[in-house]
C-alpha cells in the first residue's frame, strides 16, 4: 500500500491513511506500507538546498524552519496523544532536522550542489513522514515496524534518477521484509534507495509509486495499491477536463503509455516491475476509500477503444532538414546516435518526417544540446549544403490519445484530427506509437489543454464506460 504526499499531508490525512491500513490488516491481509513525504516537502527541500549552495544560508535555514520543521511538528501534535511517545518521536525528528541543517551549511560552504548531495537532502522528507506514521500507527494499536528503505532498495549510482537493482534488492527484501510480513506492518520510504556501498539515492520525482511497485514485485504481493487524492486513473487530468471520469480497468500497456505521456497519477516506471510477475495494480483514493478505483491488469475485460487523453508540456521539436537524403546515407541512424550519446531522452519520433526532414521531440531544456550535437555530427554535410539546417521549435506539447483497441479500429486518427480542426488547433506533427496503443500529436503548448478537451469530447469520454 503506497500513500502519496497529499495522503499524508497533515495529521488528518495521516489518521485517515492509518484507518485504511487498519481495514486491510483487520481483514486478514498482510500489508506493507510505503509512504511519500508530506505534500510539498520535497519541493521545499530542493529550495533549501538551492538557496544554501548559492550562499544564502539564512534563507535556506528559515525555509527549513517554516516550510518543513513547523509542518512536521504540527502533524505530530495533531496525531499523537501519549506524551512519552510524542516526546520520543520529537527527539528523533530533532536529530534529523539537525542533520539537514548541517548538510545545508555544508552546501553553503562548498558552494556546490551535486546530484549526490541533493539526494542526501531529499531523502529526509520520506524518513520524517514514515517516522511520524509509524509512531501514530503504534499508538493506535497497529504493529507498525519502521524500515530504512536504504537497506532494502539497492540502486545504481545515477543520483536523482537511480535505478533499483532487482537481484540485490531481492536478497535484502527476503532477509529484512519477508520475515515481518503478516506479523508486523512494515512501514518504509518511497522514492529512496542506496547504492551498494550505502550512499543515499532517489528514484526521480514522483518515484514513490515506483518504489511501491518494486517492493510489491520483490515480495510477490497479491496486489500493489497506489493511494492518492483522486478516484483512480481518469480519462484526462481532472484539472484540465473537469468532466473526466475514473477508468475502471486498464491494461499494463495502456497504463504505461498514459503515465509515460504525462498522467502524473502514476510514475512512468511503476508498471514495468509489476508486469514481470503479473501483479495487479490498483489506484485508489485515500479521501474516498469506498470508490472502486482503477485496476491495472494484463487482460482487461472492458474494451473501450480510446481510454484516455494525456499531455506533456515544456517540449521542443528538433528538426534536421535534409536536402539530398539519398546522397547522405544513414542520416537517421546518425541523428539518433548523436542524441543518445548526449543521454538526451527522445519522447517521440515524428512520423510526418518526410524524406526531407527528420524530427523528434525532447524536453525543452535538452533542445539546445541536441541541436549542437547534431550540428557537430553533420558539420560536413551542412557546409556542403546537403543538409539545410538543424533547428529546434520551442513551446510545443504532446497530446496522446491512449487505448489498446486503437490498433484494430480504423478512423481514430481522423476523428481526433477532425476535433482539433474544428477547435481551430494547428497540428505541428504526429506519431503513432510502435505499440499502436497510442496516437501522439504535437501541438503548440498554449493549445494543449484545449486539444485535450476537444478530443475528450469527440470520443465522449465523459460518458460511463460501457460494460464488457
Residue ranges in contact with ligand ADP by CB under 6 A: 4-7, 36, 206, 228-230, 233-234, 236-239, 263-265, 308
CB-wise, 191 or 260, nearer to ligand ASP? Answer: 191
CB-wise, 68 or 399, nearer to ligand ASP? Answer: 68
CB 307 within 8 A of CB 444: no
Residue selected from 191, 227, 260, 360 as contacting ligand ASP according to rule CB under 6 A: 191
CB-wise, 4 or 300, nearer to Mg ion? Answer: 4
CB 390 within 8 A of CB 364: no
Instruction: Answer yes or no whether residue 31 interacts with ligand ASP by CB under 6 A.
Output: no
CB-wise, 122 or 374, nearer to ligand ASP? Answer: 122
Residue selected from 22, 205, 303, 334 as contacting ligand ASP according to rule CB under 6 A: 205
Instruction: Answer yes or no whether residue 208 interacts with ligand ASP by CB under 6 A.
Output: yes
Segment near Mg ion (CB under 5 A); pick from 191-199, 205-213, 219-227, 368-376: 205-213
Of 370, 378, 308, nearest to 345 by C-alpha is 370
Q: Which does 422 bind (CB under 5 to 8 A by kind): ligand ADP, ligand ASP, Mg ion, none?
A: none
Between CA 346 and CA 467 the distance in angstroms is 37
CB 199 within 8 A of CB 257: no
Instruction: Answer yes or no whether residue 5 interacts with ligand ASP by CB under 6 A.
Output: yes
CB-wise, 306 or 374, nearer to ligand ADP? Answer: 306
- Tell me the closest approach of the beta carbon of residue 423 to Mg ion, in angstroms: 30
Q: Which does 42 bind (CB under 5 to 8 A by kind): ligand ASP, ligand ADP, Mg ion, none?
A: ligand ASP
Residue selected from 164, 193, 206, 403 as contacting ligand ASP according to rule CB under 6 A: 206
Of all residues in this chain, which one has the CB nearest to ligand ADP in the complex?
4
- Tell me the closest approach of the beta carbon of residue 162 to ligand ASP, in angstroms: 13
- Tell me the closest approach of the beta carbon of residue 1 to ligand ASP, in angstroms: 14
CB-wise, 93 or 234, nearer to ligand ADP? Answer: 234
- Tell me the closest approach of the beta carbon of residue 241 to ligand ADP, in angstroms: 9
Q: Which does 234 bind (CB under 5 to 8 A by kind): ligand ADP, ligand ASP, Mg ion, none?
A: ligand ADP
- Tell me the closest approach of the beta carbon of residue 119 to ligand ASP, in angstroms: 12
CB 299 within 8 A of CB 251: yes
Instruction: Answer yes or no whether residue 42 interacts with ligand ASP by CB under 6 A.
Output: yes
Q: Which does 253 bind (CB under 5 to 8 A by kind): ligand ASP, ligand ADP, Mg ion, none?
A: none
Total residues in contact with ligand ASP, by rule CB under 6 A: 12
- Tell me the closest approach of the beta carbon of residue 458 to Mg ion, in angstroms: 29
Segment near ligand ASP (CB under 6 A); pick from 206-214, 274-282, 283-291, 447-455: 206-214
- Tell me the closest approach of the beta carbon of residue 96 to ligand ASP, in angstroms: 15
Q: What is the 3-state secondary structure (H, E, C) of the chain?
A: CEECHHHHCCHHHHHHHHHHHHHHHHCCCCCCEEECCCCCHHHHHHHHHHHHHCCCHHHHHHHHHHHHHHHHHHHHHHHCCCHHHHHHHHHHHHHHHHHHHHHHHHHHHHCCCCHHHHHHHHHHHHHHHHHHHHHHHHHCCCCEEECCHHHCCEECCCCCCCCECHHHHHHHHHHHCCCCECCEEEEEECCEEEECCCCEEECCCCCHHHHHHHHHHHHCCCCEEEEECCCCCECCCCCCCCCCCECCEEEHHHHHHHHHCCCCCCCCCCHHHHHHHCCCEEEEECCCCCCCCEEEECCCCCCCCCCEEEEEEEEEEEEEEECCHHHCCCHHHHHHHHHHHCCCCEEEECCCCCCCEEEEEEEHHHHHHHHHHHHHHCHHHHHCCCEEEEEEEEEEEEEEEECHHHHHCCCHHHHHHHHHHHCCCCEEEEEECCCCCEEEEEEEHHHHHHHHHHHHHHCCCCCCCCCC
CB-wise, 207 or 300, nearer to ligand ASP? Answer: 207
Between CA 226 and CA 263 the distance in angstroms is 14
Instruction: Answer yes or no whether residue 190 interacts with ligand ASP by CB under 6 A.
Output: yes
The C-alpha cell at 256 is: 504505461
CB-wise, 239 or 341, nearer to ligand ADP? Answer: 239
- Tell me the closest approach of the beta carbon of residue 346 to Mg ion, in angstroms: 24
Between CA 289 and CA 448 the distance in angstroms is 32
Instruction: Answer yes or no whether residue 125 interacts with ligand ASP by CB under 6 A.
Output: yes
Which residues neighbour 339 within 8 Å (Cβ) at sequence distance 6 or greater? 346, 360, 362, 370, 373, 374
CB-wise, 121 or 263, nearer to ligand ADP? Answer: 263
- Tell me the closest approach of the beta carbon of residue 55 to ligand ADP, in angstroms: 32
Instruction: Answer yes or no whether residue 206 interacts with Mg ion by CB under 5 A.
Output: yes
Residues that bind ligand ASP (CB under 6 A): 4-5, 36-37, 42, 125, 190-191, 205-208
Residues that bind Mg ion (CB under 5 A): 4, 206
Amino acid at each position: 500500500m503506497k500513500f502519496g504526499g497529499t495522503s499524508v499531508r497533515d495529521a488528518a490525512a495521516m489518521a485517515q491513511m492509518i484507518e485504511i491500513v487498519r481495514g486491510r490488516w483487520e481483514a486478514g491481509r498482510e500489508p506493507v506500507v510505503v509512504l511519500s513525504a508530506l505534500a510539498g516537502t520535497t519541493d521545499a527541500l530542493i529550495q533549501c538546498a538551492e538557496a544554501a549552495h548559492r550562499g544564502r544560508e539564512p534563507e535556506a535555514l528559515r525555509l527549513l524552519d517554516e516550510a518543513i520543521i513547523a509542518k512536521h511538528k504540527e502533524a505530530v501534535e495533531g496525531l499523537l496523544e501519549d506524551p512519552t511517545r510524542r516526546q520520543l518521536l520529537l527527539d528523533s525528528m530533532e536529530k534529523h532536522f539537525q542533520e539537514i541543517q548541517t548538510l545545508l551549511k555544508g552546501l553553503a560552504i562548498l558552494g556546490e550542489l551535486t546530484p549526490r548531495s541533493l539526494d542526501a537532502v531529499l531523502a529526509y522528507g520520506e524518513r520524517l513522514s514514515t517516522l511520524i506514521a509509524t509512531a501514530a500507527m503504534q499508538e493506535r494499536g497497529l504493529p507498525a515496524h519502521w524500515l530504512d528503505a536504504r537497506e532494502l532498495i539497492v540502486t545504481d549510482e545515477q543520483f536523482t534518477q537511480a535505478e533499483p537493482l532487482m537481484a540485490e534488492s531481492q536478497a535484502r527484501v527476503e532477509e529484512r521484509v519477508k520475515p515481518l510480513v503478516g506479523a508486523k506492518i512494515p512501514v518504509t520510504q518511497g522514492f529512496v534507495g542506496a547504492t551498494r556501498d550505502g550512499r543515499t539515492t532517489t528514484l526521480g520525482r514522483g518515484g514513490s509509486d515506483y518504489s511501491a511497485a518494486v517492493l510489491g514485485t520483490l515480495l510477490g504481493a497479491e496486489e500493489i495499491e497506489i493511494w492518492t487524492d483522486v478516484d483512480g486513473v481518469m480519462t484526462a487530468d481532472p484539472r484540465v477536463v473537469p468532466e473526466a471520469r475514473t477508468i475502471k480497468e486498464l491494461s499494463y500497456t495502456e497504463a504505461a503509455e498514459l503515465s509515460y505521456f504525462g498522467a502524473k497519477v502514476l510514475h512512468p516506471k511503476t508498471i514495468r516491475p509489476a508486469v514481470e510477475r503479473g501483479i495487479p495494480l490498483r489506484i485508489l483514493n485515500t479521501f474516498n476509500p469506498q470508490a472502486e478505483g482503477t485496476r491495472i491488469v494484463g487482460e482487461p475485460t472492458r474494451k473501450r477503444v480510446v481510454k484516455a487523453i494525456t499531455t506533456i508540456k515544456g517540449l521542443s521539436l528538433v528538426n534536421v532538414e535534409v536536402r539530398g537524403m539519398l546522397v547522405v546515407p544513414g542520416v537517421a541512424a546518425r541523428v539518433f546516435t548523436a542524441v543518445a550519446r548526449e543521454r538526451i531522452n527522445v519522447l517521440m519520433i515524428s512520423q510526418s518526417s518526410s524524406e526531407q526532414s527528420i524530427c523528434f521531440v525532447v524536453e525543452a531544456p535538452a533542445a539546445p544540446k541536441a541541436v549542437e550535437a547534431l550540428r557537430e555530427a553533420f558539420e560536413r554535410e551542412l557546409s556542403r549544403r546537403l543538409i539545410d539546417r538543424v533547428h529546434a521549435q520551442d513551446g510545443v506539447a504532446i497530446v496522446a490519445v491512449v487505448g489498446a483497441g486503437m490498433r484494430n479500429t480504423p478512423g481514430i486518427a481522423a476523428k481526433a484530427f477532425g476535433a482539433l480542426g474544428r477547435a481551430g488547433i494547428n497540428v505541428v506533427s504526429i506519431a503513432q506509437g510502435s505499440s499502436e496503443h497510442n496516437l501522439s500529436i504535437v501541438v503548440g503548448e498554449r493549445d494543449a489543454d484545449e486539444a485535450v478537451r476537444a478530443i475528450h469530447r469527440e470520443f465522449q469520454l465523459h460518458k460511463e464506460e460501457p460494460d464488457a
